Amino acid sequence: MTKGLVAQIVNGKGGHYPLCIIDFNIDIESGICSIAINAKGRANRDNACSYCYASYIYKKDPKAYRVKTIKESEFKKIANKYPLHILRFGKNFECGHKRSRLELVQALKYCVQYKIRPVVTSKLLEFDKDVADLVKAANGVIHISLGKDEDEPGAIAQGSTNEWRLEQAMAYKKYGCPTQVRIVADVTMPMNAFHKKAFTSMGGSHGVLLTPLHYTNKAHFESMRQDVTWKQAKDSGLFSYVKGDLRPNIIHDDWKQTKERCGIIASREYCNNCVGKIDFNKTKYKEQLIQLKWNTEPAV
């Protein structure tokens, strides 16, 4: 923990995408994502996930990693001020590594205290009873991220394979903590055997949150798709080229059984309503946030 480096609560995706209910984000790490740190504690941003949209902000300095300080004042500033209290952990940086566990637990305690509903998104979070109890008490949810091992060298090097992550998700679910696996996948392709296993293991659609993969660079696309070129993918309409990356325009029949989705397919925005039904006027709420000048950060 670095004195003076405070984990600030900032506006979330909901300020830019009307259907998204994530109005606040908090990152408890800085400098570089702990996924990109090797067993010796040295950081290398090349170890970040190949599809990571935030890797450009990671420092090149291998000693850049820091854990932030958790301040109660950050939680006070949104308590009783807005009708929706949904706070996402782990937007640009991992939040589940043991290095930052004390800070995660403290932040979750404030969530309980101030009635803020956490969405804890992680690739490195093992089953932790304290975390599970606090997420349950705060009426939140845990999202264990799944992808492909070859896309996630840093996580795999730390033993956090996709099979291991699925086991952790199942442990949280068995314990009674609201849990979903967030599957990042090329939805124009069929489910692979592991996707099908995850779908079954988590009890079907309600246990799976589908996040359509966006190819952020040509090299990544070519490493994953030998059946079609980058140019053909754009020209055929299979994908749309938007803001420097390829976004899917179709969804394979295998994925149509997923009802919980987060992201954009064929220019349509999906929201799985991460933590359950919301019971207020969302449009009016967004207007209130704009008036308060809370959501002013440019969308990424």
Banded model confidence at residue 299, pLDDT cuts 50, 70, 90: very low
* pLDDT (tens digit per residue) in 151-210: 788 788 888 899 999 999 999 999 999 999 999 999 999 999 999 999 999 998 889 999
Mean pLDDT, to the nearest integer, of 288-298? 47
Architecture of the domain delimited by 9-291: Alpha-Beta Barrel (3.20)
What proportion of the chain, given as a percentage, has pLDDT over 70? Answer: 79
Mean confidence (pLDDT) of the chain? 83
Banded model confidence at residue 298, pLDDT cuts 50, 70, 90: very low
3-state DSSP of 14-52: HHCCCCCCCCEEECCEECCCHHHECCCCCECHHHCCCCC
Mean pLDDT, to the nearest integer, of 127-135? 98
Banded model confidence at residue 17, pLDDT cuts 50, 70, 90: low
From the list 148, 150, 88, the residue with the least C-alpha distance to 122 is 88
Bridge partners of 43?
Answer: 37
* pLDDT (tens digit per residue) in 63-112: 778 899 999 999 998 886 665 678 999 888 889 999 899 999 999 999 99
What's the pLDDT score for residue 185?
A: 94
What's the pLDDT score for residue 90?
A: 86
